[in-house]
Structures are given as structure tokens and as C-alpha cells.
Amino acid sequence: MSVVAISNLTKTFPKENVTALTGIDLQIEAGEFVSLIGPSGCGKSTLLRLVADLLQPTGGQLTIAGAAPRVARTARKIGMVFQEPALLAWRQVAKNVELPLELGDRLGSAERAGAARELLARVGLGDLAGRLPHQLSGGQRQRVALARALIQDPEVLLMDEPFGALDQITRDEMNAALLQVWEAARVTVLFVTHSIAEAVYLSDRVAVFTPRPGRIHAVVEVPLLRPRLPALRHDPEFFALESEVLAALEGRDAREQRAAYERVVRH
């Protein structure tokens, strides 16, 4: 059974007279890393919010681990990281990470502190637990947000353009850090991005959306070996996969693009 199962999903906003999504079908297996990419306003973030139970679908079916999103959210099976880390300015880094456990009245204070320290070490911030958010860089704040999302050991991690506001060097560093944490946890990830290179580098599959009303035009498989190192971005196969995703974004057949690329390489 798929961890995230989406069938013929539709979302409309009647007051705005907007159909954001229509006919979305997507199955995501346990431990998969799937990226969503498409033009602005195509419904990628809306889909993430439907999975997170922050919005309700207009039609179709959506389940998380076989249950409704409301059940999964209540059972704390869903973690989410937004583009803005939304840390509490007056709480130290470790206390920000502990917050979901504290709000859920889970574990004692010592156990919560230990879990926060462990996750901060995993995201490379073990020595910054006592700092306040304003003392961190943008990339460091997003590492804190990632640790906070993972502290409840969710089955599904939703990430809505978490690195979109970062400079390219920091973004590449965050991609590497995310993959390192994901390799260890193997949580199922649904990741929204506008970057083709980022989607290919991180993902097992890339779902390419049409302009609004959002549909999935193509799902591009990314069979690159793991673990993935920065040098992979210069590999011809990486360029070929970027071309496939770009073709799908432009409404062309991604498989035809791959065939054309291979003909050029052979000759």
C-alpha cells in the first residue's frame, strides 16, 4: 500500500472562482523522495496543503498510510517545512526544535532535550543549540526547521520550497544536508521546488505539473545512484534528466526528449 495515495483529486476555491487542481493521480511509496515542479500558481503548494490537512479536497480521494489526512495529522505522522522557517524568536534553537513534543505533551523535559540535541547534531548544528534564531544564517534557520519537523518521527515529510530564498551556494549545501538526513531516516518526502536541477538531484521521481488548473503532465523517473554527491551535477545523465523534466514543463513528451538526447550522444 502506498504511503501517500492520491486519486482523481480536485481542489476548487469557489469564492475566487479558481480551480487549483484537477484529476491528480499520484502514488508515493514508503521512503520515496518525490518532487513537484511546475509554473507558479499551478497548485503544487495547494497539493502539499491538502496532504497536510491544511485544506480539504473538493473531490477525489487522498489517504496517508491508508487513513484520511486528518487522522494522519492527529497521529503526528506528518511533518512540514515551509519556505520561511517560522522559528519563535524568543526561544533558543533547541527549544524551537522541542516545540512539537512540548505542544503534544510528549516525553519529559529531559527526553525532549535529548531528542532535540540528537536531531540538531544530525543537521550539523549540534554546537548552536543555545543560540537564538536571529544569531543564525538563513541556511542554519532552515536546518532548525528541518530538525523540528523530524522530531516527531513522521512517516511523511512535506517541504514547500524550503530553500527557495537561499543563495545558490547555501542551497546546494542544504540539498546535501537534506539528503544526508533523509538517507538516515528514510522518511517519505514530498518536495515542492521551482528548480529543475534541485528536483533531479534530490528525487527518485519528479512530478511535472501543467499551468492552472494543475494536472500532472508527466512523472520523470530519476534512476541516479545513491548516495548522491555534488559531482553528479556534471554527469551527462544528470543533464539528460534535466532535459526530460524541462521538456515535460514545456508540454512536450519527456520520453521523446530522452530518445532525442540519446541519438545525439550516440552520434
Q: Which domain CATH number covers 35?
A: 3.40.50.300
The answer on pLDDT for 39 being more than 90 is yes
pLDDT at residue 117 in the model? 93
In this prediction, residue 155 has a pLDDT band, given cuts at 50, 70 and 90, of very high
Q: How many domains does the chain have?
A: 1
Contact call for residues 199 and 245 (beta carbons, < 8 A): yes
Cis status, amide bond into 133, omega within 30 of 0: no
* CA distance linking residue 146 with residue 141, whole number of Å: 9
Indicate whether 136 pLDDT > 60. yes
Q: What percent of the chain has pLDDT over 90?
A: 80
The pLDDT, as a whole number, for residue 252 is 80
Position 262 pLDDT exceeds 90: no
| pLDDT one-digit tens code per residue, 226-249 | 999 999 999 999 999 999 999 999
> What's the pLDDT at 109?
84
Q: If pLDDT is split at 50, 70 and 90, which confidence band does 264 have?
A: low
- Strand, coil or helix: what is 13? strand
**Tens digit of pLDDT for each residue in 74-125?**
998 999 999 889 899 999 999 999 999 888 767 778 888 999 999 999 999 9
- Helical (H) or strand (E) element with 36: strand 33-37
Beta strands in 59-163 (DSSP E): 59-64, 78-81, 156-160
Mean pLDDT of the chain: 92
> What cell numbers appear for 185 in the block?
531516516
Q: Of 104, 132, 128, 105, whose CA–CA distance to 116 is shortest?
A: 128
Q: Are 123 and 42 in contact (CB under 8 A)?
A: no
Confidence category of residue 257, pLDDT binned at 50, 70, 90: low
Could you give the CA distance from residue 241 to residue 223 in angstroms, rounded to a whole number?
9
Specify whether the CB–CB gap between 132 and 93 falls below 8 A.
yes
| Statement: residue 265 has pLDDT above 60 | no
Mean pLDDT of 10-17: 93
Whether 40 has a pLDDT exceeding 70, the answer reads yes
Residues 6+ apart with CB under 8 A from 238: 200, 201, 224, 232
Alpha-carbon 42 to chain mean position: 16
In terms of Cβ atoms closer than 10 Å to its own Cβ (0-12, 13-18, 19+), residue 205 is middle
Domain membership of residue 252 (yes or no) is yes
- Distant-in-sequence, close-in-space partners of 264: CB < 8 Å, separation ≥ 6: none
Mean pLDDT of all residues in 137-162: 94
Collapsing DSSP to helix, strand or coil, 227 comes out as coil
Residue 34 lies in a domain: yes
CA angle 258, 264, 266 (to 5 degrees): 100
What backbone phi and psi angles, to 5 degrees, belong to 25?
-125, 120
Quick check: is 86 in a domain?
A: no
pLDDT range class, residue 165, cuts 50, 70, 90: confident
- Domain membership of residue 83 (yes or no) is no
Judge if the upstream peptide bond of residue 213 is cis by omega within 30 degrees of 0. Answer: yes
Q: End-to-end distance of the chain based on CA atoms, in angstroms?
A: 43
pTM, two decimal places: 0.93
Residue 226 located in a structural domain: yes
Asked if the structure places residue 89 within a domain, the reply is no
pLDDT of 69 strictly over 80: yes
Residue span of the structural domain in which 163 resides:
4-77+154-266
What is the C-alpha radius of gyration for the chain, rounded to an integer number of angstroms?
Answer: 19
Single-letter residue type at 129: A
Query: Is it the case that residue 200 has pLDDT exceeding 90?
Result: yes
Q: Is the pLDDT of residue 58 over 90?
A: yes
Tell me, yes or no, whether 106 lies in a domain: no
Is residue 148's pLDDT more than 80? yes
Q: Distance (Å, rounded) from C-alpha 164 to C-alpha 144? A: 16
- pLDDT given at position 251: 85
Q: Is residue 116 included in any domain, yes or no? A: no
The pLDDT confidence band at residue 17, using thresholds 50, 70 and 90, is very high
Q: Across residues 37-54, what is the average pLDDT?
A: 95
Higher pLDDT: 165 or 259? It is: 165
